[in-house]
Amino acid sequence: MWDYSEKVKDYFFNPKNAGAVEEANAVGEVGSISCGDALRLTLKVDPETEVIQNAGFQTFGCGSAIASSSALTEIIKGMTVDDALKVTNQDIADFLEGLPPEKMHCSVMGREALQAAVANYRGEEWSDDHEEGALVCKCFAIDAVMIEETVRANGLRTVEDVTNYTKAGGGCASCHEGIEEILTKVLAEQGETFQAEPVKQPAKEAAAASAAGGMTTLQRIRRIERVIESIRPQLQADHGDVELIDVDGPTVYVKMTGACSGCQMASMTLGGIQQRLMEDLGEFIKVVPASQPQAARAGG
């Protein structure tokens, strides 16, 4: 079963604001029939102040769909319509203390229902521009449609390209077969053939492996730096960044900045960096955010 946070469980077992709001003047209905989620959001908005006085949800869906619908109503009650529209999927997930990557689409649905309800309130048409595919990269919650579109839009050709543009495949790497399949399909549409990147340069790799044991401290740190440098472009693409702060035995201290700092995915990103470092150096490495050792030192 899913590893749901306590808060998700609480909002599922004891949902708040279940049912339709009376005298609602904003109604949004969205759903994804195949994935079995459908949500009706009803709001009562004060026409003078545009403050959402009451919000209610009716959901056909799984545990996290019900929990995120309920969470959304809690978040937006008391907000103005304009402020409510600024609520992001990540806000909903954060409110629930995280959602499994496969379940992020549940919070997407909540946000879409909100947009639909506001459009309804304002007498506008709302159309859904969001298409969703099967989850490919579980580390970074990237689906097939997203990868396909990015490959098409940017003329990507390799798994590495896909990782640089979408982050997909940048973590545990077990989805690389799936990414190759998407590349094969999209390139075939353009009359091209997907060619796998050549197997890692054997001479260089072998030399590196044998050297790994006998590196000087300086060589080792340079190497760690090199690996981190190679990861930065991916993070920068998402307006984040990472900086090497210190190396202490097997522990590598880094600082996450920009969009990466405080991002819910930060721990996954750290895991990804750690994995890459271990693969490159051939030894056990623990990657820790720099704030932790400082706190520890101050305390100790």
Partner 1 sequence: MGDIYLDNNATTMVDPAVVEAMLPFFTEQFGNPSSLHSFGNQVGRALKHARRQVQELLGAEHDSEIIFTSCGTESDSTAILSALKAQPARREIITTVVEHPAVLTLCEQLEKEGYTVHRLGVDERGRLDLDEYRGLLSDQVAVVSVMWANNESGTLFPVKEMAEMASAAGVMFHTDAVQAVGKLPIDLKSTAIDMLSLSGHKLHAPKGIGVLYLRRGTRFRPLLRGGHQERGRRAGTENAASIVALGKAAEMALEHMAYENVEVRAMRDRLEQGILAVVPNAFVTGNPDDRLPNTANIAFEYIEGESILLLLNKVGIAASSGSACTSGSLEPSHVMRAMGIPYTAAHGTVRFSLSRYNTMDEIERVIEAVPPVVAQLRKLSPYWADGAPVQDPEKAFAPTYA
Number of residues that bind partner 1 (CB under 8 A): 45
Nearest to 168 by CA among 157, 158, 156, 159: 159
Asked if residue 59 binds partner 1 (CB under 8 A), the reply is yes
Q: Is 167 left (phi over 0), alpha (psi -120 to 50) or beta?
A: left
Cα→Cα distances 41→24, 48, 56, 103, Å: 10, 21, 6, 19
What is d(CA 28, CA 83) in angstroms, rounded to the nearest whole number?
A: 17
3-state helix, strand, coil in the chain (%, to 5): 50, 20, 35
Q: State in angstroms the smallest separation of the CB of 67 from partner 1.
A: 10
Q: Is the CB of 102 or the CB of 280 nearer to partner 1?
A: 102
Contacts of 171 (CB under 8 A, 6+ apart): 137, 138, 139, 140, 268, 271, 272, 275
Nearest to 33 by CA among 71, 70, 61, 69: 61
Asked if residue 63 binds partner 1 (CB under 8 A), the reply is yes
Among 6, 22, 34, 199, binds partner 1 (CB under 8 A): 34
Among 18, 173, 266, 288, binds partner 1 (CB under 8 A): 18
Q: Does 139 qualify as catalytic in the annotation?
A: no
Residue whose entry in the numeric block shows the structure tokens 């035995």:
249
Query: What residues between 213 and 242 interact with partner 1 by CB under 8 A?
Result: none
Q: Is the CB of 36 or the CB of 155 nearer to partner 1?
A: 36
What is d(CA 23, CA 72) in angstroms, rounded to the nearest whole number?
A: 19
Q: State in angstroms the smallest separation of the CB of 131 from partner 1.
A: 7
Nearest to 103 by CA among 237, 5, 224: 5
Q: State in angstroms the smallest separation of the CB of 77 from partner 1.
A: 18
Q: How many CB atoms lie within 10 A of CB 249?
A: 8
Query: What residues between 100 and 139 interact with partner 1 by CB under 8 A?
Result: 102-103, 105, 108-109, 112, 116, 126-128, 130-135
Q: Which of 62, 106, 172, 260 is catalytic?
A: 106
Q: Is the CB of 32 or the CB of 234 nearer to partner 1?
A: 32
Q: Is the CB of 31 or the CB of 169 nearer to partner 1?
A: 31
Q: Does 62 qualify as catalytic in the annotation?
A: no
List residues binding partner 1 (CB under 8 A).
Answer: 1, 9, 12-13, 15, 18-19, 29-40, 57-66, 102-103, 105, 108-109, 112, 116, 126-128, 130-135
Active site residues: 35, 106
